[in-house]
Amino acid sequence: MTAGSAPPPDFIYPNRISAVLELRETRGKTNPDTNLEFDDSEGEQSNRSDFLCGRCLAGIANRSALSSRSGRTEHAFANPAGILFQIACFNEAPGCLTEGALTSEFTWFAGYSWQYANCRRCFSHLGWLYVGSEDSFFGLILDRLVQSS
């Protein structure tokens, strides 16, 4: 019985190993490349949307999905950094991919948690998905969208 008498061999770095594993896990979750397969399958259909991504012109959402929240479809909010966002609420936004964990921190709609909503094609940040206990909706930044004619 020599337990405790010898230090662990110096080639074992349990802390470093778990740090590397954590890093890999994080990369896997946030790497947009893992979502590339979605691109082609919905490209043509989404081109007929009323609201397009301002950067890549992928279809994002339709006018018929505009949704009134607290009596208005459009809202203006400032984030904690003081940047002002003018958003419109949509019941659905098929052109968006959501990213990140849901959080209620700094939420603009009481009772709703949010996560990021990015363009499904170019991954630019277009707004947020708000999830409440009974429903969910997208709040999309108006000056990052263009309306198709």
Binding-site residue total for Zn ion (CB under 5 A)? 7
- Based on the shown chain and the rule CB under 5 A, indicate whether residue 121 belongs to the binding site for Zn ion: yes
- Based on the shown chain and the rule CB under 5 A, indicate whether residue 93 belongs to the binding site for Zn ion: no
- Based on the shown chain and the rule CB under 5 A, indicate whether residue 126 belongs to the binding site for Zn ion: no
Q: Measure the N-to-C terminal CA separation of the chain; round to a whole number of Å.
A: 81
Nearer to Zn ion, 89 or 117 (CB): 117
- Based on the shown chain and the rule CB under 5 A, indicate whether residue 52 belongs to the binding site for Zn ion: no
Q: Which are the contacts of 118, defined by CB distance < 8 A and separation ≥ 6?
A: 32, 96, 97, 98, 99, 124, 125, 126
Comparing CA positions, the residue from 149, 96, 111 lying closest to residue 87 is 96
Nearer to Zn ion, 53 or 87 (CB): 53
Under DSSP, is residue 52 helix (H, G, I), strand (E, B) or coil? strand
Comparing CA positions, the residue from 32, 28, 94 lying closest to residue 60 is 94
- Piece of the chain touching Zn ion by CB under 5 A; list 37-45, 50-58, 63-71, 135-143: 50-58
- Based on the shown chain and the rule CB under 5 A, indicate whether residue 119 belongs to the binding site for Zn ion: yes
What does the binding site for Zn ion look like in residue numbers (CB under 5 A)? 53, 55-56, 58, 119, 121-122
